[in-house]
Amino acid sequence: MSPRSTLSTNLLDELQAALAHGNVARRVETLRKVTDLFVDHSVEYSAEQIAVFDDVFQCLIEQLEGCAKTLLAERLGPVAGAPPQVIRTLAFDDLIEVAAPVLSQSDQLDENSLIENARTKSQGHLLAISTRKVLSGAVTDILVERGNDDVVKSTVNNQGAAFSEQGYTRLVQRADGNDEIATCVALRPSIPRHHLLNLIARASSSVRTRLATANPKLAAEVSLAVQQATTRARSARATMSEEAIISHELVRLLFKDGRLDENEVLKFALNKKFDEANAAIACLAHIPVSVAETMMVESSNEGILILSKVANFSWETVKAIINMREALSGLPISDSATDRDTYERLRPSTAQQVLRFHRMQQATSSPPAA
């Protein structure tokens, strides 16, 4: 059968008339007939015949209203081997009612088209993409970065979605301060352990409790981390809150897992998480948390500068720590230029000596154990 004989002579004549001088209603009716013809026999057509339908569909939809294109998208979206060019045209339509049926279902959209769509189109387009049966890490990277909370939750809840290392890192960041996203991410069966620990360290106490009871299989890691932290908290000095010590212990778990670095400290500081930042600095400077905390709450910024130099932080991180402390304590904003000059002139060896003095001073001033 030739491509032309796929369309009956009468339908071809009607198509030519509709394209030449037909009104919208006539074009819509012709589109319906061509769609019926394709859908009813799609598995029988060769690539050459599908290309003919592609050309016909493209000509018909150029001047049609959104409702007609929506009907076409709903018919062609689930059809395997649908004409690829018209599928792409529908997917990139600004009307989400037109784009969604093909973005969510069509196997004729290749990865490059999905990536381009996710980078340039609306949140509605991203939400439709997030529901596809299979999503690669390259696509989910963009959904997690550009998508709003609904898009992120839909993507995370899609068990056919794969996530790259970068994608999981960004998910943990998006979960910070958002209990719904945090819960969704932690409940993914495939989440790597180090990302789960990172998420637990950042999560609120209510999220930790929810995760520990939501899924028995997943809860093993969560329960272990929380139980270890809670046990230590109950045996720690009474002057520190249990929640603060739990935060410290969870950060230590990140450190033991090899996933604690300057970038994590920066994130804690930017998100005003003092307990987590303090514990992270203590780990990276190899000192007790109590020593770090004493230096962090000094009236001047000298303690922060000393700790940061020992940990070899960049100025960006140091400034974020200073800003965090000042924001939480209500202190006036300090002279950034002076602090930076002091920090740049400070030698690591000098910082180490001062830190040793602080450790010795705190050790001699601490009361003996009962």
Checking if the pLDDT of 117 tops 70, the result is yes
- Check pLDDT > 60 for residue 45: yes
Residue 16 has pLDDT above 70, yes or no: no
pTM above 0.75, yes or no: no
Cα–Cα distance for residue pair 231/226, rounded to 1 Å: 9
pLDDT at position 10, please? 52
pLDDT mean over 14-43: 67
Over the range 171-181, which residues count as b (16 or more CB within 10 Å of their CB) and which as e?
bbbbbbebeeb
pLDDT on residue 93 = 94
Q: What is the pLDDT of residues 123-145, one digit of tens each?
A: 999 999 999 999 999 999 999 99
**DSSP string spanning 242-259?**
HHHHHHHHHHHHHHHTT-
Q: Which of 104-118, 126-140, 264-278 has the lowest mean pLDDT?
A: 264-278
10 Å Cβ neighbour count for 28?
21
- Please report, for the chain, how many H helices and E strands are present, in that order: 24, 0
- 164-207 tens-digit pLDDT: 988 998 998 898 888 899 888 988 888 887 787 778 777 777 77
Distant-in-sequence, close-in-space partners of 252: CB < 8 Å, separation ≥ 6: 279, 283
Using DSSP's 3-state secondary structure scheme, residue 161 falls into: strand
Band (pLDDT 50/70/90 cuts) for residue 241 is low
pLDDT in tens, 60-87: 787 777 788 898 899 999 998 899 999 9
C-alpha to C-alpha distances, 11 to 19, 73, 257, nearest whole angstrom: 12, 21, 68
pLDDT band at 100 (very low <50, low <70, confident <90, very high): very high
Q: Which residues of 123-148 are buried (b: 16+ CB within 10 A; e: fewer)?
A: ebbbbbbbbbeebeeebbbbbbeebe
CB 160 within 8 A of CB 133: yes
Listed range (6-10, 71-75, 223-227) with the worst mean pLDDT: 6-10
The pLDDT of residue 233:
43
- Each as own residue / partner, the long-range contacts of residues 95-98 (CB below 8 Å, 24 or more positions apart, any chain) are 95/66, 95/69, 95/70, 96/122, 96/124, 96/125, 96/128, 97/66, 97/70, 98/66, 98/69, 98/70, 98/73
The confidence score (pLDDT) of residue 225 equals 57
Task: Tell whether the model's pLDDT for residue 276 goes beyond 60.
Answer: yes
**Alpha-carbon gap, residue 289 to 240, rounded angstroms:** 11
pLDDT computed for residue 101 by the predictor:
96
Which one of 17-21, 147-151, 274-278, 321-325 scores highest in mean pLDDT? 147-151
DSSP structure string for 260-275: --HHHHHHHHHTT-HH
The residue among 118, 162, 155, 173 whose CA lies nearest residue 137 is 162
Among the ranges given (3-7, 97-101, 149-153, 303-307), the one the predictor scored with the smallest mean pLDDT: 3-7
Check pLDDT > 70 for residue 19.
no
| Domain ranges within the chain, ordered by starting residue | 1-105, 110-162, 178-259, 261-364
Q: List, in order, residues 6 or more apart from 243 with CB less than 8 Å away.
A: 205, 233, 275
Residue 348 burial (CB count, 10 A): 11
Structure tokens at 196: 């789960």
The residue to which tokens 């209603």 are assigned: 25
In this structure, what token pair is assigned to residue 89? 């045209």
Report which of residues 323 and 19 the model is more confident about: 323
CB 60 within 8 A of CB 31: yes
Mean pLDDT over each residue of the chain, to the nearest integer? 81
Residues 195 and 172 sit within 8 Å (Cβ to Cβ): yes
* pLDDT value at residue 370: 36
